[in-house]
Structure 1
Amino acid sequence: MTTRPTGTSTSAGHAGHAEPVAGTVAGPGAAPAARRVLAQTLFETRAILRNGEQLLVTLVLPVLLLLGLARTTVIGLGTGGGTRIDVVAPGVLALAVMSTAFTSQAIATSFDRRNGVLRLLATTPLGRGGLLAGKVLGVLAVELVQVVVLGAVALALGWQPAVAGVGAAVLAVLLGTAAFTGLALLIAGTLRAEAVLALANLVLVLLAVAGGVVVPADQLPGPLAAIASALPSGALGESLRAALGDGVLAAGPLAVLAAWAVVLGGLAARLFRWS
C-alpha cells in the first residue's frame, strides 16, 4: 500500500529573466519556464525514488510480483503457445505504470493540496501549468526507471519481447499515463486527502486483481471479461501484451485508452480544486 511521502513539494527558480507564459506568474529574477519545470520534475522524481514506501510500491513489489508470477503457477495464465514470462512481463509493466501514474500521484497531490502546497506553488513563477507539467514529467521519469529495472529482470528470466512492437508499447504507456494521471488528479482535487489515501490503494488492488492487467481480460470469469476490457487498466494491459508479445499495435485497446485519457483529463481540468 502507498502512504504519503514525507516532505512537501518545492520548486527553485534561478537567476535570469523570462517572459511570462500561460499559467505562470513570472517576475524579476525568475528562471526561464523550461528551467522551472525541469526543477519541479527533478523534485517530483526524487520525492518518489527517495521515499521508502513509494519505492516499495513502484519498484520492489512489481519486481517481486514479476518473479512470483513467472516462477510459480499460483495464478493460472493462458499463454497461447508462448511462455509464461511473455504474458507476465507486459502485465507487470502495466501495473507499474498504474502504481506511479495513479496511486502515488493521487496520494502525493491530495496531501500537497491539503497542506496548502499546491495553492502556494500556483502563485510562484512556476505557476499552475508548470506545476502540472513537472508532475507529469516526474511520473514519466519514474516510469522510465521502472521499465529499465523490470525489463532487465524479465530479460534475465527469459523474456524475449517483440522489438517490432516497441513503438506501440511506448504509445500505450503514454496514453495509459495520461489516463491514470487524469484519474489521479480528479480524485486528488475533489476528495479529502484521507479518503484519497484509502481509495487510491483500494482501486489499485481491485484493478490488479480483476482489471485485466496481470490476468488478461479474456481469461477473467463471466462478465468481468467485458468490464475489464472497457477499463483503462485492461486496455493498457492488452496493448502492452499485443505490442511486446506479438509486435502489433492493438488499435481497439489504444482507442479505449485514448478515450479514457480525454474524459478523465477533461474532468480533472474542470473539477480540480487547488485548495
Structure 2
Amino acid sequence: MSALDFSPQPGAAPLSSQVRAQARMETRLLLRNGEQLLLAVVIPVLVLIGGVVGLTHVDLSLTHRPVDELTPGVLALAIMSSAFTSVAIATGFERRYGVLKRLGASPLPRSGLLAGKVVALLVVEVLQVVLVSLVGLVLGWSPSWSVAGCLGFVLALVLGTASFASLGLFLAGTLRAEATLAVANLVYLLLLAGGAVVLPSSSYGAFGSVARWLPSGALGDAMRAAFLDGAVAWSSLPCLVGWALVGGYLTARTFSWE
C-alpha cells in the first residue's frame, strides 16, 4: 500500500475564470453604487425627457425632430458618463483605499484586471443603451436603421468607450481621489453643456468648429450620423482614435497603482 501524498499543489484558476469573476464583481459594484447609477442612468434619461419637452418650446434650428436629434446625443452622454466619470471616480477611490495594490498582489494579472473592468463597463453600457433607447422610442424616436448605421454605432460605442476610459484612468492615476471626484464631475458638466455631445456641433455657432474635435463632440456626431443618416462618421471616428491613443499613452506613462 503506497503512502498518500498530502503535499499542497497551489495554482491559480484559468485566466478566463479570473476575468469572469472580476467582471461580475465590478458589475455588481457599479450597479450598487447610487452615484454611479445617477450618472449612468438617471441623468441621461432626465436630459432626454427634459430636452425633448424643452426643445418643442425653443426656436433652435435643428435638421430633424428634437427626439431624433437628442436620443443619439443622450446615448453618447450615457457612454461618457460610464466610461469617463464613473471609471475615473471608482478607480481614484480604489487607489486611495489600496484596492488596486491588493489586487496587484493577487494571481489576477494586470491584463486580467483591466479586462474585467472593460467587460463590466460594456455590460453597464449595454444596459444604458437599452434603457435610453426604450425611453426614446416611447417619446417617438424614429432611428434610421441600416447596416452602415449599425456599424457606425458599434464603432462609435467601442472607440468612444476607449477614448473616455483612457482619459478617465489618466485622471484617476495622477490625482488624489477627492481631486479626481471634483475634476471628473466638473469636466462632465462642462462637456454636457458645451461639448457638443447632446446637441450637434452646428448648434454652437463659431465654437462648434472647436467642439467637434473634443471627444464628446466626436462621439455625439458619430452617434447622430449612425442613427440620423444611417452612416458611418468617418470624419469623427479618427478623432476618437486619436483621443484614445493620447489617453492611453498618458495613462501608461503616469498611472500610479497606489
Aligned length in residues: 247
Question: 1:269 is matched with which residue?
Answer: 252
Question: 1:216 is matched with which residue?
Answer: 200
Instruction: Give per-residue Cα distances to partners, 1:102-158, cap 9 Å, x unaligned.
Output: 001100001101111101101111121111111111111100000000001101111
Question: 1:122 is matched with which residue?
Answer: 104
SS for the counterpart of 1:251 is coil
Is the counterpart of residue 240 in structure 1 residue 223 in structure 2? Answer: yes
In 2: Cα distance, 1:77 partner to 1:133 partner: 43
Question: 2:13 is matched with which residue?
Answer: 31
The Cα shift of 1:75 comes to: 6.2
Instruction: Give per-residue Cα distances to partners, 1:163-204, cap 9 Å, x unaligned.
Output: 111121111010000000000110101111111000000000
In 2: Cα distance, 1:231 partner to 1:34 partner: 36
In 2: Cα distance, 1:75 partner to 1:268 partner: 42
Amino acid at match of 1:79: L
Question: 2:208 is matched with which residue?
Answer: 225
The Cα shift of 1:221 comes to: 3.0
Question: 1:10 is matched with which residue?
Answer: none
Amino acid at match of 1:132: L
SS for the counterpart of 2:61 is coil
Of residues 193, 203, 207 in structure 1, which corresponds to 2:191?
207
Is the counterpart of residue 143 in structure 1 residue 125 in structure 2? Answer: yes
Question: 1:196 is matched with which residue?
Answer: 180
Of residues 78, 84, 91 in structure 1, which corresponds to 2:66?
84
Unpaired segments ≥5 residues, structure 1: 1-26
**52-61 vs 71-80, greater mean Cα deviation:** 71-80
In 2: Cα distance, 1:162 partner to 1:107 partner: 35
Identity fraction in percent: 52
Amino acid at match of 2:248: G
CA RMSD of aligned residues (A): 1.4
Determine if contact 1:101/1:139 at 8 Å carries over to the other structure.
yes
The Cα shift of 1:37 comes to: 0.8
Question: 1:58 is matched with which residue?
Answer: 40
Unpaired segments ≥5 residues, structure 2: 1-8
Of residues 75, 91, 112 in structure 2, which corresponds to 1:93?
75
In 2: Cα distance, 1:28 partner to 1:149 partner: 44
The Cα shift of 1:51 comes to: 1.6
SS for the counterpart of 2:235 is helix
Question: 2:164 is matched with which residue?
Answer: 180
Determine if contact 1:77/1:215 at 8 Å carries over to the other structure.
no
Instruction: Give per-residue Cα distances to partners, 1:76-103, cap 9 Å, x unaligned.
Output: 54321x2111100011010000000000
Go from structure 1 to structure 2 and tell me whether the alpha carbon gap of 1:75 and 1:195 turns closer, same or farther (over 3 Å shift): farther
TM-score normalised per structure 1: 0.87
Determine if contact 1:103/1:201 at 8 Å carries over to the other structure.
yes
Go from structure 1 to structure 2 and tell me whether the alpha carbon gap of 1:270 and 1:192 turns closer, same or farther (over 3 Å shift): same
SS for the counterpart of 1:252 is coil
**232-241 vs 31-40, greater mean Cα deviation:** 31-40
Go from structure 1 to structure 2 and tell me whether the alpha carbon gap of 1:77 and 1:33 turns closer, same or farther (over 3 Å shift): farther
In 1: Cα distance, 2:189 partner to 2:182 partner: 11
TM-score normalised per structure 2: 0.92
In 2: Cα distance, 1:147 partner to 1:78 partner: 26
Using CA pairs below 8 Å that are at least 6 residues apart, which structure has the higher relative contact order?
Answer: 2
Amino acid at match of 2:253: R
